[in-house]
Structure 1
Amino acid sequence: MLKSIDEDSLKAAQAILYPEELFQFDSVAEGIWGGFEAVTDTAVQFFHEHGYLVIHDAFSPEEVRETLDGMLYLMDGKNPDYRGIQYEPTLVRYRSELPAKERRDIIRKIATFVNFEPRLKAISEHEGLMTVVQRLIEDTPRLFQDMGLIKPPHIGSEKPWHQDCAYFNLPLDTPVVAAWIALDEATPENGCMHVIPGSHREGPMVHFHRRDWQICDTHVPVNREVMVPLKAGGCLLWHGLLHHGTPANRSNLRRRALQFHYCPESTGSIDTEERLEVFGSEGKDVEC
């Protein structure tokens, strides 16, 4: 693994840059089995109350394999028109030196790919997923963001606690649903998702530019958080205001996932200034 990279660079990439107590590992999120067809009205109510819904067996092994093949096709540069690859910041300078299979393990994410890879577009439009998202937002869903989150072994970086809506120029009352699809098993060791149940009902949080655009570390109620381990094919749905994040991956296991964001088809937009009036810290008596 990454034999072409010098030892000092690897050590820098493996450094933990956040207080490790930000992620607890003693509580596991509830979930359901039976695929999207098992999402009952009770499960929908759970989503609205807690801000998330775990479906452990949402996608078949065949669907996972097809999706991974599509992801690797883009990661390996086989579509010359695709430019959406983002690398782990400390190792990006090695991207042109590594062979394709080794280069996969310095990629942090891929983004905006559904129009470049039909296998990834297909899973974003999966009938079962769309049916459930429509029930959650009570409207026809529109995909407005697509990402592949790689979290490579040994060097996969933390995603600090945040609310997704802090990133989007959407009207503040827009119902946003994220769908996070595990393509590898997501475990406590390789950086599975962590969420704070019910935090979406507390409204927008001020975000700060620290390690990322994030909720201040000292504002995270870690005593309430739960982790969401998933087998490959599992799906986590969450509300756009739910507090969530992932720790670094220092295991030898990959943790590849897709993440899609949906809003109602008729949703308009706001400008960045309007969004930052709510989620930004400027002009407010807050500090981090």
Structure 2
Amino acid sequence: MHFTEVNDELVESFRRDGFVVLDQALPAEQVSELHLTAEQLCRGELGAVEGAPAPESTDDVLRRFLCIHHPHKVSDAARAALHAPRVVETLTAVIGPNVKAMQSMLFIKPEGKPGQAWHQDEFFIPTRDRSLTAAWIALDDATVENGCLWVLPGSHRRGVLYPDREQDDLRFDCTVEAFDFPYSDDDAIPVEVPAGSAVIFNGYLLHRSLPNTGRHGLRRALANHYMSAESLLPWQTVPDGIHVGKHDYRDIVMVAGTDPYAYKGIDDLARPHSRPDKDGGCDR
């Protein structure tokens, strides 16, 4: 369901379906700034991106990338998007007054690039209080043709993490998929949204995306992940392999309220890196 303002109906829809669409979450000028950020990141103008593929020409540099993790570490525009007022207002309504972010992901997804198989974000980012929530912000109009999100409404309600297995379907870039859940592909619905809209969804919601089969054009999106600041975040490692302990990952950004664990300080561990092609695996 689409909403233009945060209200009780939005919260009820989120609880029932596991997702809502927030129209006009970012203004057009902020979307344009993030387009520029994507170009700067892919060209190395904001610093090195670990795992970045070598461009064959200056014209195709964006089309060499599928996803860049943690753009907020080097981009003012990406960091500002973590604090987007309409998104944060929605997050405080569905999570609570104290909210922290721990990850941003900039998807480029050119023509021919794959999507992601069925998965639950909480499988990859385990929170102790099940408060993980994503804000998937469209930077281009997201359609079935160019690889929009698909969701299984209500699949979050059991609060169950379904088993995972290796898969080799070339439509998807990751080698892991969720399976053995009580839904079929026929239950899925596409979430087509215009640029600037945000899909806000629960960390237990089963979702996927299909390849960009459009004849031309990118399907750029910024996916930010948030949770209650009142919960510990037991991530074990960050992409470069640094062990951060099994209790509380502190490379975070507060976006609302207060941090009950501020006395621990903030770490600076993660760095921008490019998701490898399927042959190289997937770390999300």
Shift of 1:194: 0.3
Listed one character per residue, the Cα deviations across residues 13-55 of structure 1 (whole Å, up to 9, x for unaligned) are xxxxxxxxxxxxxxxxx312x3xxx121111111011100012
Offset of residue 220 of structure 1: 4.7
Partner of 2:176: 213
Name 1:196's counterpart in structure 2. 152
- Residue 79 (1) aligns with residue 46 (2): yes
2:197 aligned to which of 210, 234, 240: 234
CA–CA distance in 1 between the matches of 2:69 and 2:50? 5
The alpha carbon displacement at 1:84 in A equals 4.8
Q: Which amino acid aligns with 1:51?
A: G
- The normalised TM-score by structure 1 is 0.74
Number of equivalenced pairs: 229
Which structure 2 residues correspond to residues 75-154 of structure 1 after superposition, within 5 A?
75-80=42-47, 82-84=48-50, 95-153=53-111
Where does residue 91 of structure 1 map in the other structure?
A: none
CA distance in 2: counterparts of 1:84 and 1:45, whole angstroms: 41
Q: CA 1:241/1:135 → structure 2, altered by over 3 Å: closer, same or farther? A: same
Aligned letter for 2:196?
G
Tell me which residue corresponds to 1:31: 2
Asked if 1:187 is matched to 2:150, the reply is no
- Deviation at 1:67? 1.6
Kindly provide the CA deviation profile for residues 154-200 of structure 1, in whole angstroms up to 9, marking residues without a partner as x: x21120010001111432x3211100000011111000100000000
Letter paired with 1:216? F
In 2: Cα distance, 1:266 partner to 1:129 partner: 19
Contact 2:26 2:84 in 1 (8 A): no
Q: 1:63: how far off?
A: 1.3
Instruction: Give the drift of 1:139.
Output: 3.3
Kept in 1: contact 2:25–2:84 (CA 8 A): no
Match of 1:27 in 2: none
**Which has the larger helix fraction?**
1
Q: Which has the larger radius of gyration?
A: 1
Please state if 1:250 is matched with 2:250. no
Does residue 225 (structure 1) correspond to residue 225 (structure 2)? The answer is: no
Structure 1: tracts of 5 or more residues without a match: 1-29, 87-94, 275-288
CA deviation after TM superposition for structure 1 residue 107, in Å? 0.3
Task: Give the CA deviation at 1:209.
Answer: 2.4
Q: Is the 1:84–1:113 Cα contact (8 Å) retained in structure 2?
A: no
Residues 162, 179 of structure 2: 8 Å contact kept: no
> Does the 8 Å CA contact 1:85/1:107 hold for their aligned counterparts?
no
Give 1:224 deviation, angstroms.
Answer: 1.4
* Identity, % of aligned positions: 25
1:85–1:109: 8 Å Cα contact kept in structure 2?
no
- Alpha carbons of structure 1 residues 96 and 220: separation in structure 2 relative to 1, 3 Å: same
SS in 1 for 2:59: helix
Deviation at 1:262, TM superposition (A): 0.1
Tell me the SS of whatever aligns to 2:24: coil
Cα RMSD after superposing both structures: 1.9
